[in-house]
């Protein structure tokens, strides 16, 4: 009986040092870190097992421990056409599928080009009004910077967008 009582007391005392649950965010990955220089902070995780992106006309939902901020940089835009067209390029950075969504009241066909930084045309798509979202499969291209160029039928530029491709 004394052995059972002693075992019970030892079990109770040892449970004081154990933790069962934590509310901190955590991820199981092979490596990762956080680095800061000035106002720039970089968080990275290596080896997330499952991530995906769902894109609708109302927005984008991504999955994974680190949620990227949408950072589409407009390189060039023409004010007279900017009022008629709204172009969204997402997600950025991209690893698999890149979506280009154009909304406008103008019933005019547009051309959308995927270019490398040397200006070489990698892919060209023509879209007619009403505009359906375009999909570019970026898995065949190496990581790096690319440019999306949107122009009208009359070759008037609507905008250039910088896209960061990650593997």
By C-alpha distance, which of 62, 63, 65, 68 is closest to 29?
A: 65
The full set of domains in the chain, from first to last, is 70-165 (2.60.40.1930)
Give the per-residue pLDDT at 86.
86
In the structure encoding, which two tokens stand for residue 14, read together? 């040892």
Q: What is the reported pTM? A: 0.53
- Measured CA angle at 163 (ends 30, 54), to 5 deg: 65
Residues 62-83 as b or e (16 or more Cβ within 10 Å = b) = eeeeeeeeeebeeeeeeeebee
Supply the DSSP string of 10-61, one letter for each residue.
HHHHHHTT------S-----SEEEEEEETTEEEEEEE--S---EEEETTEEE
**137 falls in which pLDDT band (50, 70, 90)?**
very high
Q: Which of 7-11, 70-74, 87-91 has the lowest mean pLDDT?
A: 70-74
pLDDT band at 124 (very low <50, low <70, confident <90, very high): very high
Residues 20-52 have pLDDT tens digits of: 555 555 566 677 777 888 877 777 777 665 566
**What's CA 64's distance to the chain center, in Å?**
11
Which pLDDT belongs to residue 122? 95
Query: What is the H or E stretch that residue 8 is in?
Result: helix 2-15
pLDDT digits 0-9 by tens, 51-66: 666 666 666 666 665 5
The answer to whether 129 and 109 are in contact (CB under 8 A) is yes
């Amino acid at each position: 009986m004394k052995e059972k009582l002693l075992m019970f007391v030892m079990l109770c005392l040892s449970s004081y040092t154990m933790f069962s649950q934590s509310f901190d965010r955590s991820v199981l990955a092979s490596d990762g870190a956080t680095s800061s220089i000035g106002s720039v902070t970089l968080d990275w995780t290596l080896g997330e097992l499952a991530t995906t992106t769902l894109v609708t006309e109302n927005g984008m939902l991504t999955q994974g421990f680190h949620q990227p901020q949408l950072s589409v940089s407009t390189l060039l835009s023409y004010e007279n056409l900017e009022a008629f067209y709204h172009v969204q390029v997402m997600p950025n950075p991209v690893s698999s599928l890149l979506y280009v969504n154009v909304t406008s009241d103008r019933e005019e066909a547009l051309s959308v080009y995927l270019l490398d930084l040397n200006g070489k045309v990698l892919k060209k798509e023509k879209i007619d009004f009403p505009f359906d979202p375009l999909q570019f499969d970026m898995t065949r291209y190496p990581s790096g910077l690319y440019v999306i160029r949107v122009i009208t039928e009359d070759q008037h530029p609507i905008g250039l967008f910088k896209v960061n491709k990650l593997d």
